[in-house]
C-alpha cells in the first residue's frame, strides 16, 4: 500500500526556494519564539525575585521589560544587521 504525496500545487510551496510564498515563515516563527521566550524567561526571574523579596508586583514587570529589550536586541543581531556592511 502506497501513501499518496501532496498535490502538485502544495509540492511547489513545500519545496521552498526564493519564489516560495512560505520562504520567510520559519524566520518569522524563530523571531516570535525569541521574543516570547525572552519575555517569559526574564518575567519568570522577576516573579521569583518578587516572591523571594516579599514584593507583590515590582520585579515581574521589570523582568519582562528586560526580557523584551534583550530579545529585541538578539533579533536585531541575528536577523536585522546587514552582513555585507563593514
Nearest Cα to Cα of residue 36 among 9, 67, 65: 67
In a domain, 15, yes or no: no
In a domain, 40, yes or no: yes
Range of the domain at 39: 35-81
| pLDDT per residue as tens digits for the range 8-66 | 555 555 555 555 667 788 889 999 999 999 999 999 999 999 999 999 999 999 999 99
In a domain, 48, yes or no: yes
State residue 20's pLDDT score: 62
State residue 68's pLDDT score: 98
State residue 82's pLDDT score: 72
In a domain, 26, yes or no: no
In a domain, 19, yes or no: no
State residue 81's pLDDT score: 77
State residue 38's pLDDT score: 97
- The tally of domains found in the chain comes to 1
Residue labelled with grid coordinates 533579533: 75
pTM metric for this prediction: 0.69
Q: In this structure, what C-alpha cell is assigned to residue 26?
A: 520559519
In a domain, 29, yes or no: no
In a domain, 75, yes or no: yes
Amino acid at each position: 500500500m502506497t501513501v499518496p504525496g501532496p498535490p502538485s500545487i502544495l509540492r511547489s510551496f513545500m519545496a521552498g526556494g526564493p519564489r516560495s510564498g512560505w520562504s520567510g515563515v520559519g524566520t518569522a516563527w524563530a523571531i516570535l519564539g525569541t521574543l516570547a521566550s525572552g519575555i517569559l524567561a526574564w518575567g519568570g526571574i522577576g516573579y521569583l525575585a518578587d516572591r523571594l523579596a516579599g514584593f507583590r508586583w515590582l520585579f515581574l514587570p521589570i523582568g519582562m521589560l528586560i526580557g523584551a529589550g534583550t530579545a529585541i536586541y538578539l533579533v536585531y543581531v541575528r536577523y536585522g544587521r546587514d552582513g555585507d556592511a563593514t
